[in-house]
Structure 1
């Protein structure tokens, strides 16, 4: 065989070997993306576990309507979860939490009542203000006593109800009265804002100093009267995950919903002010 012929055969053999190597490499490469995708999918799934179980939220009474709506939305977004609420005076709720009551989230109507929980070391992280609320006078439908100001509540013979001074709505009412240099002796002090409002709804009182959100929620059962002194007594509402939360992951997701654009819209529509 001549030298050119041998060179030609060697060249063909090398070309064949190269082609075989390329095919093998191509086969490996084509399988790698699938493996990588599966790996990425598995990693993503493991980093976002499905939420389930009960979430217990202790919240100020004034949050009842808006939080109940958000609770239903949360359960819809996370099938298998159940949000249970304990609404009441923030000071009473704080005392229950520091006393060992099992809860995942605490939403208070003032930083002062939240401080009871943080000082006891029961909050996980720093509480965040998520809304604010302002006072309003709730009168009987049609405002038969012609109440037009905070000063009008001091009229003789008028039955007025206030929240207890230890709860946020009561403390705010006292600030407003001090701002107007007014003194008022109510017929009763109630343990939370809903109880104060109920006295007017049942016509057991002529008026009550409550939050705008409560007047809004009551619809035509009462009539609201704004007063300028309320600007001196606006309450910040903080929320926190609790350190001993039985269902911390779901609790974090609920807090996130409250602070999200969707949650803020629900709260704003209920009459709350943005933080």
Structure 2
């Protein structure tokens, strides 16, 4: 964090991001107390660095611009990626002000090491969809369709939240899938489908929506067993 930023700048960013992003995402809603709202409205300047899960890129980029417009003299810098990679960077000393993870387990990596300056707040939930080629040419209508060996499936790596959620959903449906690749985060997984390198992939509902027609989405009931909760927190070693 730039030295001119007040101590409340990261907290203000956290509140703005969590409150706004929850209104446009799937699964839950967020709220803030009067005291928190007062903190968020305090004058802040400088740079706020936010490490955030790749699945938050579209929404957080918009919110960052809104925050800058609401607080002249501020700049929000994002580092988007797999939650496990971001958490590892934070515990290894990477400077950042706010961390938004795609799972509670990944957030615990940071809090258990004492790298959080506050208590994480769950601000939204996100469920899975099957991303398919536009028009769904293979007519995939259920999770079991991914077990067909002629369907090229791509999944997130098992160590990242979208991958863990995919494994939970597949287990719930008793579906065995042999993917053509495991990708480092949900953005890379979606890209493989969008480019035609894969026929289908398990990604978040918000990613399908944000793809703006580059893929179609197929809902499936087992997704209800794998809703990821997204926590956000200010960090103990801010950027400079």
Q: TM-score, normalised by structure 2?
A: 0.82
1:168 to 145, 154, 161: 161
Gaps of 5+ in 1: 1-47, 248-275
Shift of 1:234: 0.2
2:139 to 146, 149, 158: 146
Q: Distance in 2 between matches of 1:137 and 1:89?
A: 19
Deviations 1:144-199 (A, max 9, x none): 00000000011121100000000000000000011011111100000000000000
RMSD: 1.1
Q: Distance in 1 between matches of 2:120 and 2:236?
A: 12
1:69 to 62, 66, 76: 62
Q: How many residues are aligned here? A: 200
Partner residue of 1:187?
180
Matched, 1:96 2:89: yes
Structure 2 residue matching 1:209: 3-state secondary structure = strand
Gaps of 5+ in 2: 1-40
Partner residue of 1:130?
123
Partner residue of 1:57?
50
Give the 4+ runs in structure 1 shifted more than 2 A: none
Partner residue of 2:30?
none
Partner residue of 1:209?
202
Shift of 1:99: 0.5
Q: Distance in 2 between matches of 1:156 and 1:235?
A: 28
Q: Distance in 1 between matches of 2:139 and 2:203?
A: 18
Matched, 1:219 2:239: no
Structure 2 residue matching 1:57: 3-state secondary structure = strand
Q: TM-score, normalised by structure 1?
A: 0.71
Partner residue of 1:106?
99
Deviations 1:29-67 (A, max 9, x none): xxxxxxxxxxxxxxxxxxx86311110000000000100
Shift of 1:244: 1.5
Structure 1 residue matching 2:75: 3-state secondary structure = strand
Q: Distance in 2 between matches of 1:117 and 1:156?
A: 39
Structure 2 residue matching 1:124: 3-state secondary structure = coil
Q: Distance in 2 between matches of 1:61 and 1:150?
A: 24
Q: Distance in 2 between matches of 1:189 and 1:156?
A: 16
